[in-house]
Chains A and B, each alone.
Chain A
Amino acid sequence: MSNLILNRRKLLIGSAALGSSLALTGCDQFDFLGQRGNPVRQALEQANVLTYRAQRALIGDQVLAREYAASEIRQGMKPNGSTEPSTPEYMFLKAQNFAPYKLTIKGMVEREVSFSLDELRNMPARSQITRHDCVEGWSCIAKWTGTALGPVLDMAGVKPEARYCVYHCFDNIQKTLSGDVFYYESSDLVDAYHPQTILSYGLNDQVLPVSNGAPVRLRIERALGYKQPKYLHTIELVDDLTPFGRGRGGYWPDNGYDWYGGI
Protein backbone atom coordinates (compact mmCIF):
# COMPACT_ATOMS: atom_id res chain seq x y z
CA MET A 1 0.00 0.00 0.00
CA SER A 2 2.80 2.42 0.88
CA ASN A 3 4.27 1.55 -2.48
CA LEU A 4 1.04 2.61 -4.18
CA ILE A 5 0.86 5.95 -2.34
CA LEU A 6 4.51 6.67 -3.11
CA ASN A 7 3.90 5.98 -6.76
CA ARG A 8 0.81 8.15 -6.85
CA ARG A 9 2.92 11.00 -5.46
CA LYS A 10 5.53 10.28 -8.12
CA LEU A 11 2.83 10.33 -10.72
CA LEU A 12 1.61 13.74 -9.58
CA ILE A 13 5.12 15.18 -9.47
CA GLY A 14 5.89 13.64 -12.83
CA SER A 15 2.75 15.03 -14.41
CA ALA A 16 3.57 18.48 -13.09
CA ALA A 17 7.12 18.22 -14.46
CA LEU A 18 5.80 17.04 -17.80
CA GLY A 19 3.26 19.85 -17.97
CA SER A 20 5.81 22.53 -17.21
CA SER A 21 8.29 21.15 -19.73
CA LEU A 22 5.57 21.18 -22.39
CA ALA A 23 4.75 24.78 -21.49
CA LEU A 24 8.45 25.65 -21.86
CA THR A 25 8.32 24.74 -25.52
CA GLY A 26 5.95 27.65 -25.90
CA CYS A 27 8.89 29.93 -26.53
CA ASP A 28 10.68 31.26 -29.52
CA GLN A 29 14.18 29.75 -29.05
CA PHE A 30 14.10 28.31 -32.55
CA ASP A 31 12.80 31.40 -34.35
CA PHE A 32 16.35 32.15 -35.53
CA LEU A 33 15.92 29.25 -37.96
CA GLY A 34 13.55 31.55 -39.86
CA GLN A 35 16.45 33.93 -40.71
CA ARG A 36 17.21 33.06 -44.32
CA GLY A 37 21.01 33.43 -44.11
CA ASN A 38 21.46 31.82 -40.69
CA PRO A 39 24.32 29.26 -40.78
CA VAL A 40 22.35 26.66 -38.79
CA ARG A 41 19.46 27.00 -41.22
CA GLN A 42 21.88 26.72 -44.15
CA ALA A 43 23.22 23.49 -42.66
CA LEU A 44 19.69 22.10 -42.27
CA GLU A 45 18.93 23.12 -45.89
CA GLN A 46 21.56 20.63 -47.06
CA ALA A 47 18.94 17.96 -46.40
CA ASN A 48 17.05 19.37 -49.41
CA VAL A 49 20.10 18.79 -51.61
CA LEU A 50 20.17 15.21 -50.31
CA THR A 51 16.45 14.81 -51.11
CA TYR A 52 17.02 16.10 -54.67
CA ARG A 53 19.97 13.75 -55.27
CA ALA A 54 18.19 10.78 -53.69
CA GLN A 55 15.03 11.29 -55.74
CA ARG A 56 17.00 11.79 -58.97
CA ALA A 57 18.89 8.53 -58.24
CA LEU A 58 15.74 6.62 -57.26
CA ILE A 59 13.24 7.87 -59.84
CA GLY A 60 13.87 7.05 -63.51
CA ASP A 61 14.06 10.18 -65.66
CA GLN A 62 11.11 9.00 -67.77
CA VAL A 63 8.94 7.64 -64.94
CA LEU A 64 5.50 9.23 -65.09
CA ALA A 65 3.43 10.84 -62.39
CA ARG A 66 0.13 9.04 -61.87
CA GLU A 67 -2.62 9.94 -64.33
CA TYR A 68 -6.20 9.67 -63.12
CA ALA A 69 -9.53 8.72 -64.67
CA ALA A 70 -11.85 11.47 -65.92
CA SER A 71 -14.24 10.57 -63.07
CA GLU A 72 -11.60 11.84 -60.60
CA ILE A 73 -12.11 15.42 -61.85
CA ARG A 74 -14.63 16.39 -59.20
CA GLN A 75 -14.12 20.15 -59.05
CA GLY A 76 -12.59 23.12 -60.83
CA MET A 77 -8.86 23.68 -60.54
CA LYS A 78 -8.29 25.78 -57.45
CA PRO A 79 -6.48 29.01 -58.42
CA ASN A 80 -3.65 30.05 -56.10
CA GLY A 81 -0.84 32.62 -56.03
CA SER A 82 -1.27 35.28 -58.74
CA THR A 83 -4.73 35.06 -60.29
CA GLU A 84 -4.98 38.39 -62.17
CA PRO A 85 -1.62 39.90 -63.28
CA SER A 86 -1.86 43.69 -63.42
CA THR A 87 1.11 44.76 -65.56
CA PRO A 88 0.24 46.84 -68.67
CA GLU A 89 1.98 44.28 -70.88
CA TYR A 90 -0.18 41.42 -69.62
CA MET A 91 -3.39 43.48 -69.58
CA PHE A 92 -2.74 44.41 -73.23
CA LEU A 93 -2.23 40.76 -74.22
CA LYS A 94 -5.33 39.71 -72.34
CA ALA A 95 -7.39 42.42 -74.07
CA GLN A 96 -6.17 41.04 -77.44
CA ASN A 97 -7.15 37.51 -76.37
CA PHE A 98 -3.39 36.71 -76.39
CA ALA A 99 -3.15 37.01 -80.20
CA PRO A 100 0.19 38.93 -80.02
CA TYR A 101 1.57 36.46 -77.41
CA LYS A 102 4.95 34.88 -78.11
CA LEU A 103 6.76 32.20 -76.11
CA THR A 104 10.49 32.76 -76.50
CA ILE A 105 13.25 30.17 -76.01
CA LYS A 106 16.62 31.89 -75.53
CA GLY A 107 19.94 31.68 -73.70
CA MET A 108 22.25 28.72 -74.29
CA VAL A 109 20.53 27.60 -77.49
CA GLU A 110 21.69 27.30 -81.11
CA ARG A 111 18.98 29.71 -82.28
CA GLU A 112 16.54 31.86 -80.35
CA VAL A 113 12.99 30.97 -81.34
CA SER A 114 9.51 32.31 -80.58
CA PHE A 115 6.13 30.69 -80.97
CA SER A 116 2.67 32.20 -81.03
CA LEU A 117 -0.19 30.56 -79.15
CA ASP A 118 -1.59 29.21 -82.44
CA GLU A 119 1.79 27.71 -83.34
CA LEU A 120 1.94 25.99 -79.92
CA ARG A 121 -1.63 24.70 -80.35
CA ASN A 122 -0.72 23.24 -83.73
CA MET A 123 2.13 21.19 -82.27
CA PRO A 124 1.42 17.57 -81.16
CA ALA A 125 -0.85 17.81 -78.12
CA ARG A 126 -0.85 15.82 -74.92
CA SER A 127 -3.64 15.67 -72.34
CA GLN A 128 -3.07 14.37 -68.82
CA ILE A 129 -5.31 14.15 -65.78
CA THR A 130 -2.96 14.70 -62.89
CA ARG A 131 -2.94 15.69 -59.26
CA HIS A 132 -1.67 19.16 -58.43
CA ASP A 133 -0.05 19.15 -54.97
CA CYS A 134 0.32 22.54 -53.32
CA VAL A 135 3.19 23.09 -50.89
CA GLU A 136 0.51 24.16 -48.39
CA GLY A 137 -0.74 20.58 -48.27
CA TRP A 138 -3.86 20.45 -50.47
CA SER A 139 -4.33 18.56 -53.75
CA CYS A 140 -6.60 19.08 -56.75
CA ILE A 141 -7.06 16.81 -59.79
CA ALA A 142 -7.48 18.41 -63.23
CA LYS A 143 -6.96 17.71 -66.93
CA TRP A 144 -4.13 19.64 -68.55
CA THR A 145 -3.66 19.91 -72.33
CA GLY A 146 -0.58 21.25 -74.07
CA THR A 147 2.50 20.39 -76.05
CA ALA A 148 5.56 18.69 -74.61
CA LEU A 149 8.38 21.10 -73.74
CA GLY A 150 11.21 18.78 -74.82
CA PRO A 151 10.60 18.91 -78.60
CA VAL A 152 10.09 22.69 -78.37
CA LEU A 153 13.50 23.03 -76.70
CA ASP A 154 14.98 20.82 -79.43
CA MET A 155 13.69 23.23 -82.07
CA ALA A 156 15.86 25.89 -80.43
CA GLY A 157 18.76 23.44 -80.05
CA VAL A 158 19.91 23.29 -76.42
CA LYS A 159 23.67 23.73 -76.15
CA PRO A 160 25.53 20.98 -74.23
CA GLU A 161 26.70 23.37 -71.50
CA ALA A 162 23.11 24.32 -70.55
CA ARG A 163 22.06 22.82 -67.21
CA TYR A 164 18.81 24.55 -66.27
CA CYS A 165 15.71 26.10 -67.78
CA VAL A 166 14.64 29.40 -66.23
CA TYR A 167 10.94 30.12 -66.69
CA HIS A 168 10.10 33.84 -66.80
CA CYS A 169 6.52 34.89 -66.12
CA PHE A 170 4.28 37.93 -66.67
CA ASP A 171 2.87 38.10 -63.15
CA ASN A 172 4.13 40.70 -60.71
CA ILE A 173 3.59 38.51 -57.67
CA GLN A 174 5.02 41.07 -55.27
CA LYS A 175 5.02 44.87 -55.39
CA THR A 176 7.87 46.52 -53.52
CA LEU A 177 9.12 50.09 -53.16
CA SER A 178 11.89 49.28 -55.64
CA GLY A 179 9.45 47.96 -58.22
CA ASP A 180 7.56 44.80 -59.10
CA VAL A 181 8.94 41.34 -58.36
CA PHE A 182 8.07 38.98 -61.20
CA TYR A 183 7.40 35.31 -60.73
CA TYR A 184 10.04 33.00 -62.13
CA GLU A 185 10.97 29.37 -61.64
CA SER A 186 13.59 26.98 -62.94
CA SER A 187 14.21 23.27 -63.33
CA ASP A 188 16.96 20.94 -64.37
CA LEU A 189 16.85 19.42 -67.86
CA VAL A 190 15.50 16.10 -66.51
CA ASP A 191 12.27 17.85 -65.50
CA ALA A 192 12.30 19.99 -68.67
CA TYR A 193 12.50 16.93 -70.94
CA HIS A 194 10.12 14.75 -68.89
CA PRO A 195 7.31 13.41 -71.13
CA GLN A 196 4.61 14.95 -68.91
CA THR A 197 6.27 18.38 -68.83
CA ILE A 198 3.94 20.32 -71.10
CA LEU A 199 3.32 23.92 -72.10
CA SER A 200 -0.36 23.76 -71.18
CA TYR A 201 -2.93 26.01 -72.83
CA GLY A 202 -6.00 23.94 -71.93
CA LEU A 203 -7.55 23.06 -68.57
CA ASN A 204 -10.43 20.61 -68.10
CA ASP A 205 -11.25 20.75 -71.86
CA GLN A 206 -11.50 24.56 -71.83
CA VAL A 207 -9.07 27.29 -72.82
CA LEU A 208 -6.72 27.86 -69.86
CA PRO A 209 -8.34 30.66 -67.82
CA VAL A 210 -6.47 33.73 -66.58
CA SER A 211 -6.77 32.64 -62.93
CA ASN A 212 -4.88 29.41 -63.75
CA GLY A 213 -2.11 31.01 -65.82
CA ALA A 214 -3.34 31.95 -69.33
CA PRO A 215 -2.12 31.81 -71.99
CA VAL A 216 0.52 29.19 -71.09
CA ARG A 217 1.35 27.44 -67.87
CA LEU A 218 4.17 24.94 -67.54
CA ARG A 219 3.35 21.61 -65.88
CA ILE A 220 6.11 19.71 -64.10
CA GLU A 221 3.99 16.88 -62.75
CA ARG A 222 6.49 15.29 -60.34
CA ALA A 223 6.89 18.50 -58.37
CA LEU A 224 4.82 20.77 -56.12
CA GLY A 225 2.54 23.54 -57.39
CA TYR A 226 5.09 26.35 -57.15
CA LYS A 227 7.17 24.52 -59.79
CA GLN A 228 4.28 24.97 -62.29
CA PRO A 229 4.86 28.60 -63.41
CA LYS A 230 1.80 30.44 -64.73
CA TYR A 231 1.74 33.28 -67.30
CA LEU A 232 4.92 31.93 -68.92
CA HIS A 233 6.55 34.10 -71.62
CA THR A 234 10.24 33.17 -71.86
CA ILE A 235 12.34 30.07 -71.26
CA GLU A 236 16.03 30.78 -70.81
CA LEU A 237 18.65 28.00 -70.97
CA VAL A 238 21.47 28.67 -68.48
CA ASP A 239 24.28 26.94 -66.61
CA ASP A 240 23.95 29.03 -63.44
CA LEU A 241 20.88 30.16 -61.48
CA THR A 242 22.59 32.78 -59.28
CA PRO A 243 22.06 35.81 -61.62
CA PHE A 244 18.27 35.56 -61.34
CA GLY A 245 16.19 37.06 -58.53
CA ARG A 246 17.98 36.46 -55.24
CA GLY A 247 19.91 33.63 -56.82
CA ARG A 248 18.04 30.56 -55.57
CA GLY A 249 16.27 29.62 -58.78
CA GLY A 250 12.72 30.83 -58.27
CA TYR A 251 10.41 33.27 -56.56
CA TRP A 252 9.49 30.86 -53.75
CA PRO A 253 13.03 29.40 -53.45
CA ASP A 254 14.21 33.02 -53.06
CA ASN A 255 11.77 33.17 -50.16
CA GLY A 256 13.22 30.15 -48.39
CA TYR A 257 11.48 27.22 -50.10
CA ASP A 258 13.48 24.33 -51.50
CA TRP A 259 14.39 24.66 -55.16
CA TYR A 260 13.71 21.05 -56.19
CA GLY A 261 10.13 20.94 -54.92
CA GLY A 262 9.69 17.20 -55.40
CA ILE A 263 8.66 16.62 -51.77
Chain B
Amino acid sequence: MSQADELSTKRGPLVYRQSIFTRVTHWVWAVCLFFLLLSGLQIFNAHPSLYIGQQSGFEFDNAVLEIGAVNTPEGPRGRTTVFGQSFDTTGVLGMSGTAEAPQYVGFPGAVTIPSFRDLATGRVVHFFFGWVLVAALFVWFLASFINGHLRRDIVPKGSDISGLPKDAMDHARLKLHHGRRYSPLQKLSYFAVFFVLFPLIVLTGLTMSPGMDAAWPWLLDLFGGRQTARTIHFGVMVLLVLFFVVHIIMVLLAGPLNELRSMITGWYRTSPGTPTEAGDKP
Protein backbone atom coordinates (compact mmCIF):
# COMPACT_ATOMS: atom_id res chain seq x y z
CA MET B 1 0.00 0.00 0.00
CA SER B 2 1.40 3.41 -0.94
CA GLN B 3 1.77 6.08 1.65
CA ALA B 4 -0.97 8.19 0.08
CA ASP B 5 -3.50 5.32 0.38
CA GLU B 6 -2.44 4.73 3.93
CA LEU B 7 -3.00 8.39 4.75
CA SER B 8 -6.45 8.42 3.17
CA THR B 9 -7.58 5.27 4.95
CA LYS B 10 -5.85 5.71 8.28
CA ARG B 11 -5.98 9.22 9.68
CA GLY B 12 -5.58 10.43 13.18
CA PRO B 13 -8.49 12.19 14.87
CA LEU B 14 -9.34 15.84 14.20
CA VAL B 15 -8.43 17.66 17.40
CA TYR B 16 -9.38 21.14 18.62
CA ARG B 17 -5.91 22.58 18.94
CA GLN B 18 -6.06 26.40 18.93
CA SER B 19 -8.36 28.53 21.07
CA ILE B 20 -10.07 31.61 19.66
CA PHE B 21 -7.59 33.81 21.57
CA THR B 22 -4.59 32.12 19.98
CA ARG B 23 -6.11 32.27 16.50
CA VAL B 24 -7.18 35.91 16.59
CA THR B 25 -3.96 37.16 18.21
CA HIS B 26 -1.90 35.09 15.73
CA TRP B 27 -3.33 36.96 12.74
CA VAL B 28 -3.22 40.31 14.54
CA TRP B 29 0.51 39.73 15.14
CA ALA B 30 1.04 38.68 11.53
CA VAL B 31 -0.38 42.02 10.34
CA CYS B 32 1.43 44.00 13.07
CA LEU B 33 4.83 42.46 12.39
CA PHE B 34 4.49 43.16 8.68
CA PHE B 35 3.81 46.86 9.26
CA LEU B 36 6.28 47.15 12.16
CA LEU B 37 9.08 45.68 10.06
CA LEU B 38 8.53 47.89 7.02
CA SER B 39 7.91 51.09 9.01
CA GLY B 40 10.83 50.20 11.29
CA LEU B 41 13.20 50.00 8.32
CA GLN B 42 11.87 53.43 7.26
CA ILE B 43 12.75 54.80 10.71
CA PHE B 44 16.17 53.10 10.64
CA ASN B 45 16.89 54.76 7.28
CA ALA B 46 16.72 58.20 8.95
CA HIS B 47 20.04 57.33 10.61
CA PRO B 48 21.30 54.00 9.22
CA SER B 49 23.95 53.36 11.87
CA LEU B 50 23.89 51.37 15.12
CA TYR B 51 26.02 52.01 18.19
CA ILE B 52 26.94 50.54 21.58
CA GLY B 53 26.43 52.80 24.62
CA GLN B 54 24.36 55.81 25.68
CA GLN B 55 25.14 58.01 22.71
CA SER B 56 26.15 57.94 19.04
CA GLY B 57 29.83 58.51 18.39
CA PHE B 58 30.36 61.36 15.96
CA GLU B 59 33.80 62.29 17.28
CA PHE B 60 34.65 58.78 18.49
CA ASP B 61 33.80 55.35 17.12
CA ASN B 62 31.26 53.14 18.87
CA ALA B 63 29.38 52.05 15.76
CA VAL B 64 28.74 48.35 15.14
CA LEU B 65 26.78 48.79 11.89
CA GLU B 66 26.95 51.52 9.29
CA ILE B 67 25.10 51.58 6.00
CA GLY B 68 25.91 54.29 3.49
CA ALA B 69 27.23 55.17 0.06
CA VAL B 70 30.84 55.95 -0.79
CA ASN B 71 32.54 57.42 -3.84
CA THR B 72 34.93 55.03 -5.55
CA PRO B 73 36.94 55.34 -8.81
CA GLU B 74 34.13 53.29 -10.43
CA GLY B 75 31.48 55.73 -9.14
CA PRO B 76 29.25 55.63 -6.05
CA ARG B 77 28.80 52.27 -4.33
CA GLY B 78 26.68 51.04 -1.43
CA ARG B 79 28.85 50.18 1.57
CA THR B 80 27.84 48.30 4.72
CA THR B 81 30.24 48.04 7.65
CA VAL B 82 29.53 45.44 10.34
CA PHE B 83 31.88 45.27 13.34
CA GLY B 84 34.58 46.97 11.29
CA GLN B 85 34.23 44.66 8.28
CA SER B 86 33.13 46.51 5.12
CA PHE B 87 31.08 44.93 2.38
CA ASP B 88 30.00 46.23 -1.02
CA THR B 89 26.19 46.09 -0.84
CA THR B 90 25.38 48.11 -3.97
CA GLY B 91 21.85 47.34 -5.17
CA VAL B 92 20.60 46.32 -1.74
CA LEU B 93 21.95 48.42 1.13
CA GLY B 94 23.24 51.99 0.95
CA MET B 95 22.57 52.34 -2.77
CA SER B 96 19.69 50.81 -4.69
CA GLY B 97 17.21 51.68 -7.42
CA THR B 98 18.05 51.74 -11.12
CA ALA B 99 21.27 52.85 -12.83
CA GLU B 100 19.44 55.93 -14.19
CA ALA B 101 17.85 56.84 -10.84
CA PRO B 102 19.95 55.45 -7.99
CA GLN B 103 18.57 55.79 -4.47
CA TYR B 104 21.04 56.49 -1.68
CA VAL B 105 19.17 54.96 1.25
CA GLY B 106 19.95 52.35 3.90
CA PHE B 107 17.27 49.78 3.10
CA PRO B 108 15.69 50.08 -0.37
CA GLY B 109 12.24 51.62 -0.81
CA ALA B 110 10.94 48.15 -1.74
CA VAL B 111 11.02 47.13 1.94
CA THR B 112 9.93 50.39 3.60
CA ILE B 113 6.59 52.05 4.31
CA PRO B 114 6.22 54.49 2.63
CA SER B 115 8.49 53.48 -0.26
CA PHE B 116 9.98 57.02 -0.26
CA ARG B 117 11.89 58.72 2.58
CA ASP B 118 9.27 59.78 5.16
CA LEU B 119 10.35 59.34 8.77
CA ALA B 120 7.20 61.05 10.13
CA THR B 121 4.89 58.54 8.44
CA GLY B 122 7.13 55.62 9.40
CA ARG B 123 6.73 56.68 13.03
CA VAL B 124 2.94 57.06 12.75
CA VAL B 125 2.64 53.52 11.34
CA HIS B 126 5.20 52.02 13.74
CA PHE B 127 3.66 53.37 16.95
CA PHE B 128 0.10 52.45 15.92
CA PHE B 129 1.02 48.84 15.28
CA GLY B 130 3.31 48.80 18.31
CA TRP B 131 0.30 49.55 20.50
CA VAL B 132 -1.78 46.86 18.72
CA LEU B 133 1.01 44.28 19.11
CA VAL B 134 1.33 44.97 22.83
CA ALA B 135 -2.45 44.89 23.33
CA ALA B 136 -2.65 41.51 21.55
CA LEU B 137 0.27 40.22 23.64
CA PHE B 138 -1.55 41.27 26.80
CA VAL B 139 -4.77 39.53 25.73
CA TRP B 140 -2.92 36.38 24.67
CA PHE B 141 -0.81 36.11 27.84
CA LEU B 142 -3.87 36.61 30.05
CA ALA B 143 -6.04 34.13 28.11
CA SER B 144 -3.24 31.58 27.77
CA PHE B 145 -2.50 31.72 31.45
CA ILE B 146 -6.16 31.15 32.31
CA ASN B 147 -6.95 28.48 29.68
CA GLY B 148 -3.70 26.57 30.29
CA HIS B 149 -2.18 27.12 26.83
CA LEU B 150 0.97 28.57 28.39
CA ARG B 151 1.53 25.71 30.82
CA ARG B 152 0.43 22.97 28.39
CA ASP B 153 1.94 24.10 25.10
CA ILE B 154 4.48 26.89 25.55
CA VAL B 155 6.58 26.47 28.69
CA PRO B 156 8.96 23.52 28.04
CA LYS B 157 8.96 20.67 30.57
CA GLY B 158 11.74 18.26 31.47
CA SER B 159 10.43 15.74 28.95
CA ASP B 160 10.63 18.39 26.22
CA ILE B 161 14.30 18.97 26.99
CA SER B 162 15.11 15.23 27.03
CA GLY B 163 13.06 14.72 23.87
CA LEU B 164 14.85 17.55 22.06
CA PRO B 165 17.67 15.55 20.34
CA LYS B 166 15.21 13.05 18.84
CA ASP B 167 12.83 15.83 17.75
CA ALA B 168 15.73 17.75 16.18
CA MET B 169 16.77 14.62 14.25
CA ASP B 170 13.19 14.05 13.09
CA HIS B 171 12.97 17.65 11.86
CA ALA B 172 16.34 17.33 10.10
CA ARG B 173 15.00 14.26 8.28
CA LEU B 174 11.74 16.16 7.61
CA LYS B 175 9.83 13.46 9.53
CA LEU B 176 7.14 15.76 10.89
CA HIS B 177 4.78 14.18 13.38
CA HIS B 178 1.37 15.82 13.71
CA GLY B 179 0.66 15.29 17.38
CA ARG B 180 -2.04 16.61 19.64
CA ARG B 181 0.50 18.93 21.25
CA TYR B 182 3.52 20.88 20.04
CA SER B 183 6.80 19.00 19.64
CA PRO B 184 9.77 19.99 21.85
CA LEU B 185 11.27 22.16 19.10
CA GLN B 186 7.98 23.94 18.53
CA LYS B 187 7.57 24.58 22.23
CA LEU B 188 11.08 25.97 22.52
CA SER B 189 10.62 28.19 19.44
CA TYR B 190 7.35 29.69 20.68
CA PHE B 191 8.73 29.99 24.20
CA ALA B 192 11.70 31.94 22.82
CA VAL B 193 9.42 34.21 20.78
CA PHE B 194 6.97 34.96 23.61
CA PHE B 195 9.30 35.04 26.59
CA VAL B 196 12.49 36.40 25.02
CA LEU B 197 12.07 38.08 21.63
CA PHE B 198 8.72 39.86 22.10
CA PRO B 199 9.56 41.23 25.59
CA LEU B 200 13.01 42.27 24.34
CA ILE B 201 11.76 44.11 21.29
CA VAL B 202 9.03 45.91 23.26
CA LEU B 203 11.35 46.94 26.11
CA THR B 204 14.21 48.04 23.83
CA GLY B 205 11.63 50.03 21.85
CA LEU B 206 10.50 51.75 25.04
CA THR B 207 14.14 52.44 26.00
CA MET B 208 14.41 54.66 22.92
CA SER B 209 11.66 56.90 24.34
CA PRO B 210 13.11 59.79 26.38
CA GLY B 211 9.82 59.92 28.31
CA MET B 212 9.99 56.23 29.25
CA ASP B 213 13.65 56.58 30.26
CA ALA B 214 12.53 59.17 32.83
CA ALA B 215 9.73 56.90 34.06
CA TRP B 216 11.76 53.69 34.10
CA PRO B 217 15.46 54.62 34.28
CA TRP B 218 16.30 50.95 34.92
CA LEU B 219 15.64 50.38 31.20
CA LEU B 220 18.86 52.28 30.40
CA ASP B 221 20.83 50.16 32.89
CA LEU B 222 19.24 46.89 31.78
CA PHE B 223 20.24 47.38 28.14
CA GLY B 224 23.41 49.42 28.65
CA GLY B 225 22.21 52.69 27.18
CA ARG B 226 19.75 54.04 24.64
CA GLN B 227 21.94 53.36 21.63
CA THR B 228 22.66 49.78 22.73
CA ALA B 229 18.90 49.32 23.14
CA ARG B 230 18.42 50.57 19.57
CA THR B 231 21.01 48.04 18.37
CA ILE B 232 19.33 45.20 20.29
CA HIS B 233 15.94 46.30 18.88
CA PHE B 234 17.41 45.89 15.38
CA GLY B 235 19.01 42.54 16.24
CA VAL B 236 15.77 41.11 17.63
CA MET B 237 14.04 42.28 14.45
CA VAL B 238 16.50 40.17 12.44
CA LEU B 239 15.77 37.14 14.69
CA LEU B 240 12.00 37.64 14.29
CA VAL B 241 12.41 37.77 10.50
CA LEU B 242 14.38 34.49 10.70
CA PHE B 243 11.64 33.00 12.86
CA PHE B 244 9.06 34.06 10.27
CA VAL B 245 11.01 32.44 7.42
CA VAL B 246 11.43 29.14 9.32
CA HIS B 247 7.78 29.32 10.47
CA ILE B 248 6.53 29.61 6.88
CA ILE B 249 8.83 26.83 5.64
CA MET B 250 7.64 24.53 8.43
CA VAL B 251 3.98 25.29 7.66
CA LEU B 252 4.56 24.45 4.01
CA LEU B 253 6.41 21.22 4.88
CA ALA B 254 3.91 20.12 7.52
CA GLY B 255 0.93 20.55 5.22
CA PRO B 256 -0.18 24.13 4.67
CA LEU B 257 -3.92 23.40 4.44
CA ASN B 258 -4.06 21.51 7.74
CA GLU B 259 -1.87 24.10 9.46
CA LEU B 260 -3.91 27.01 8.08
CA ARG B 261 -7.17 25.29 9.07
CA SER B 262 -5.95 24.91 12.63
CA MET B 263 -5.08 28.60 12.82
CA ILE B 264 -8.45 29.63 11.31
CA THR B 265 -10.98 27.11 12.69
CA GLY B 266 -8.89 25.68 15.52
CA TRP B 267 -9.25 22.06 14.23
CA TYR B 268 -6.11 20.10 13.36
CA ARG B 269 -5.71 16.71 11.66
CA THR B 270 -3.29 14.56 13.64
CA SER B 271 -1.01 11.81 12.32
CA PRO B 272 -2.28 8.22 12.15
CA GLY B 273 -1.95 6.45 15.46
CA THR B 274 -2.79 9.46 17.60
CA PRO B 275 -5.05 8.24 20.40
CA THR B 276 -8.59 9.67 20.31
CA GLU B 277 -9.77 11.71 23.27
CA ALA B 278 -13.12 13.15 24.28
CA GLY B 279 -14.11 16.06 22.09
CA ASP B 280 -12.18 14.88 19.02
CA LYS B 281 -13.82 14.48 15.63
CA PRO B 282 -13.08 11.50 13.36
Contact = CB atoms under 8 A, between A and B. Distances in A.
Interface of A: 2-4, 7-8, 10-11, 13-15, 17-18, 23, 25-28, 30-31, 33-34, 41, 44-48, 50-51, 55, 58-60, 63-66, 68, 72, 74-76, 78, 131, 133-141, 221-224, 252, 255-258, 262-263
Interface residues of B, number: 56
Interface in B231-260: 245, 248-249, 252-253, 256
Contacts of B252: 10-11, 13-14, 17
Contacts of B230: 137
A23 B252 CA distance: 19
B87 interface: no
Most chain A CB within a 10 A radius of its CB, from B3, B38, B208, B209: B209
B114 interface: yes
A34 B121 contact: yes
Contacts of B47: 134, 136-138
B55 A4 contact: no
Contact of B118 (A34, A68, A131): A34
User: 10 tightest A-B contacts by CB?
Assistant: A26-B110, A262-B211, A14-B252, A256-B120, A75-B59, A137-B47, A138-B56, A263-B209, A47-B128, A44-B128
A65 B43 contact: no
9 contacts: A8-B174, A11-B174, A47-B124, A60-B215, A63-B215, A136-B119, A137-B56, A138-B49, A257-B119
A13 B54 CA distance: 46
A74 B59 CA distance: 8
A58 B215 CA distance: 7
Contacts, number: 177
B213 interface: yes
Given A58-B215, A138-B47, A31 B114 contact: yes
B46 interface: yes
B125 A44 contact: yes
A226 to B, nearest CB: 10
Contacts of A33: 113-114, 121, 124-125
Contact of A263 (B2, B118, B127): B127
A258 B55 contact: no
Given A13-B252, A41-B121, A138-B47, A55 B215 contact: yes
A30 B114 contact: yes
A238 B134 CA distance: 35
Nearest to A44: B128
Contacts of A48: 124, 127
A74 B121 contact: no
Interface string B107-144: 01111011110111101110110110000000000000
Given A28-B114, A222-B210, A14 B249 contact: yes
B154 to A, nearest CB: 25
Contact of A50 (B54, B131, B209, B217): B131
B60 interface: yes
Given A55-B211, A222-B214, A256 B124 contact: yes
Contacts of B115: 27-28, 30-31
A72 B54 contact: yes
Nearest to A142: B55
B199 interface: no
A139 B56 contact: yes
Contact of B211 (A23, A59, A72, A255): A59
Contacts of A255: 120
Nearest to A33: B121
Interface in B250-280: 252-253, 256
Given A3-B174, A59-B215, A139-B56, A41 B208 contact: no
B214 A75 contact: no
B201 interface: no
B111 A47 contact: no
B58 interface: yes
